[in-house]
């Protein structure tokens, strides 16, 4: 899978990436390919040597923006062919246990892929070992940062030893609770917002069946939409399903006994009980507690030409558009394109990234917030299905002229803010057509009467 550094840069930079998660380890590959020296510092142990930690999603939906990034570093084909499970649409579970499918793209059968966080992260880290110019340091916790100077202090979580590091550029890819961003907040004129939604999530599991196969149709994202709450399930490589229950914290609190839990599931998710298994449902539900969901927006993303934040550190979003990882991966792609454009001239690269990227991350953040309502509620309404059918029809007839919102976000690399603008334009067109139709009908009636 490896490819040697192509060394097309004017000057070899010394870059520190904080955070060895999905975005950090991908960014290390992009930078390594450009020939820079990369040191990757991660707070946790090497993910390849640890079991899956609870409290972070187990699997994720990979779509075109993420795929493009993996392609750039030579890993897309491997991922799609060997690991990802294609999902061609949503499968809705009704209260009575019956289901129906809503394809994402009936026209060309485009799909998203369910991928394991640990597998993907491990693959990216492993690939970085093929580059001599990448060094990996695990168990390093960032405790102090002078971003204007590019100097960082870590403590080793095992030995408590202090480590001081200097770099030409610090890239913070250390997630929603980023320590690099915390240091950035001290800068004047830094806009920042963090918002917790009133819903938490809790993960459950549907195991594989007796023959080691899937218990539900594998190639769908399964949804149990219940208005103010919902459950979803994404397939895993081992034919199990990771099931996630999203619900207001206040509702979680009410389910404080086995009886109440089972009653609740029998009322709202009856078909899921035999799939999960009563015993396992009770065990998994009460062994964890619901995790919060935070949405973070901020800007600018850089401190001069010395520091930059990307991924969740720059724009944590709620998970309902399946775009968190994809947006983070797209950051890496766009940063690479700017480095190419400006020949690694950091002042220009960082300024342009910061000035342009926020519009799109703010847009996907708002879309993700909106999509929760769509997934848990609107999706079951006739108005939604009529609009979706209508969108699909025009899309089918004029694929270049009318791309529905979900499709533009998931299956194109159109900037997120353009996707939103595009949708607004479609709404206007639709509104005009309806008004024109009504006027036409009225005149028609008038004509007929006279």
Q: Which is nearer to its own copies, 296 or 339 (CB)?
A: 296
Q: Which is nearer to its own copies, 189 or 210 (CB)?
A: 189
* Tokens coding 129: 């070992």
**Is the CB of residue 97 less than 8 Å from the CB of residue 271?**
yes
Q: Cβ of residue 249: shortest distance to its own copies, in angstroms? A: 8
Q: Cβ of residue 294: shortest distance to its own copies, in angstroms? A: 9
Q: Is 79 exposed, middle or buried (0-12, 13-18, 19+ CB in 10 A)?
A: buried
Q: Cβ of residue 198: shortest distance to its own copies, in angstroms? A: 9
Q: In the 8-state DSSP scheme, what is residue 317? A: -
**Secondary structure class of 165 (helix, strand, coil):** strand
**Is the CB of residue 154 less than 8 Å from the CB of residue 140?**
yes
**Is the CB of residue 24 less than 8 Å from the CB of residue 311?**
yes
* Number of chain residues interacting with its own copies (CB under 8 A): 10
443 scored as a contact of its own copies (CB under 8 A): no
Q: Cβ of residue 193: shortest distance to its own copies, in angstroms? A: 3
Phi-psi sector, 108: left (phi>0), alpha (psi -120 to 50), beta: alpha
* Tokens coding 360: 């799109």
**Secondary structure class of 141 (helix, strand, coil):** strand
Instruction: Spell out the long-range contacts of 332-335 with Cβ–Cβ below 8 A and sequence spacing 24 or more.
Output: 332/23, 332/26, 332/27, 332/30, 332/69, 333/30, 333/65, 333/68, 333/69, 333/72, 335/27, 335/30, 335/308, 335/310
Q: Which is nearer to its own copies, 119 or 252 (CB)?
A: 252
The 241-280 contact track toward its own copies, x by CB under 8 A, reads ----------------------------------------
**Is the CB of residue 12 less than 8 Å from the CB of residue 35?**
yes
* Tokens coding 89: 């649409």
Q: Which is nearer to its own copies, 253 or 267 (CB)?
A: 253
Q: Which is nearer to its own copies, 215 or 251 (CB)?
A: 251
The 143-182 contact track toward its own copies, x by CB under 8 A, reads ----------------------------------------
- DSSP alpha helix (H) spans, 316-345: 324-341
**Secondary structure class of 152 (helix, strand, coil):** strand
Q: Which is nearer to its own copies, 195 or 254 (CB)?
A: 195
Q: Cβ of residue 290: shortest distance to its own copies, in angstroms? A: 11
Q: Which is nearer to its own copies, 34 or 297 (CB)?
A: 297
Q: Cβ of residue 195: shortest distance to its own copies, in angstroms? A: 5
Q: Cβ of residue 288: shortest distance to its own copies, in angstroms? A: 15
Q: Which is nearer to its own copies, 166 or 289 (CB)?
A: 289
Q: Cβ of residue 311: shortest distance to its own copies, in angstroms? A: 20
Q: Cβ of residue 297: shortest distance to its own copies, in angstroms? A: 8
Q: Cβ of residue 202: shortest distance to its own copies, in angstroms? A: 16
**Secondary structure class of 112 (helix, strand, coil):** strand
The 285-304 contact track toward its own copies, x by CB under 8 A, reads -------x------------
Q: In the 8-state DSSP scheme, what is residue 176? A: T
Q: Which is nearer to its own copies, 217 or 292 (CB)?
A: 292
Cross-strand pairs, 291: 201
Q: Which is nearer to its own copies, 82 or 194 (CB)?
A: 194
Residues 180-239 contacting its own copies, CB under 8 A: 188-196
Query: How far is residue 67's CA from residue 427's CA, in Å, rounded to a whole number?
Result: 30
CB atoms within 10 A of CB 356: 13
Q: In the 8-state DSSP scheme, what is residue 11? A: S
Which residues form the interface with its own copies (CB under 8 A)? 188-196, 292
């Amino acid at each position: 899978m490896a490819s040697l550094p192509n060394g097309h840069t004017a000057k070899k930079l010394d870059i520190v990436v904080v955070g060895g998660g999905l975005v950090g380890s991908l960014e290390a590959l992009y930078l390594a390919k450009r020939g820079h020296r990369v040191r990757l510092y991660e707070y946790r142990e090497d993910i390849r040597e640890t079991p899956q930690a609870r409290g972070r999603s187990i699997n994720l939906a990979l779509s075109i923006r993420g795929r493009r990034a993996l392609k750039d570093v030579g890993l897309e084909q491997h991922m799609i062919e060997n690991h990802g499970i294609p999902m061609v649409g949503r499968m809705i579970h009704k209260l009575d246990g019956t289901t129906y499918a809503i394809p994402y793209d009936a026209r060309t059968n485009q799909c998203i892929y369910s991928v394991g966080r640990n597998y993907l992260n491990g693959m990216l880290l492993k690939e970085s070992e093929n580059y001599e110019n990448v060094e990996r340091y695990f168990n390093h916790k960032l405790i102090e940062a002078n971003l204007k100077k590019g100097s960082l202090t870590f403590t080793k979580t095992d030995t408590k030893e202090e480590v001081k590091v200097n770099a030409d550029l610090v890239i913070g890819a250390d997630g929603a609770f980023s320590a690099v961003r915390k240091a950035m907040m001290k800068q004047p004129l830094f806009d920042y917002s963090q918002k917790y939604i009133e819903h938490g999530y809790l993960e459950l599991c549907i195991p594989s069946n007796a023959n080691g196969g899937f218990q539900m149709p594998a190639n769908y994202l399964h949804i149990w939409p219940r208005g103010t709450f919902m459950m979803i399930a994404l397939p895993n490589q081992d034919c199990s399903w990771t099931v996630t229950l999203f619900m207001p914290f206040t509702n979680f609190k009410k389910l404080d006994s086995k009886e109440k839990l089972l009653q609740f599931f029998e009322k709202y998710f009856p078909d899921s009980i035999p799939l999960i298994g009563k015993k396992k449902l009770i065990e998994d539900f009460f062994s964890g507690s619901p995790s919060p969901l935070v949405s973070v927006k901020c800007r600018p993303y850089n401190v001069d030409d010395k520091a930059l934040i990307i991924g969740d550190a720059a724009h944590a979003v709620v998970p309902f558009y399946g775009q968190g990882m994809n947006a983070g991966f797209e950051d890496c792609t766009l940063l690479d394109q700017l480095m190419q454009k400006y020949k690694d001239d950091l002042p220009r690269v960082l300024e342009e990234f910061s000035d342009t990227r926020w519009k799109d991350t703010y847009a996907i953040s708002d879309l993700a917030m909106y999509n929760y309502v769509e997934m848990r509620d609107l999706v079951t309404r006739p108005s939604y299905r009529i609009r979706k059918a209508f969108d699909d029809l025009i899309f089918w007839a004029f694929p270049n002229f009318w791309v529905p919102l979900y499709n533009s976000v998931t299956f194109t690399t159109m900037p997120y803010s353009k996707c939103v603008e595009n949708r607004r334009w479609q709404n206007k067109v639709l509104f005009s057509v309806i008004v024109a139709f009504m006027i036409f009908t009225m005149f028609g009636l008038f004509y007929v009467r006279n």
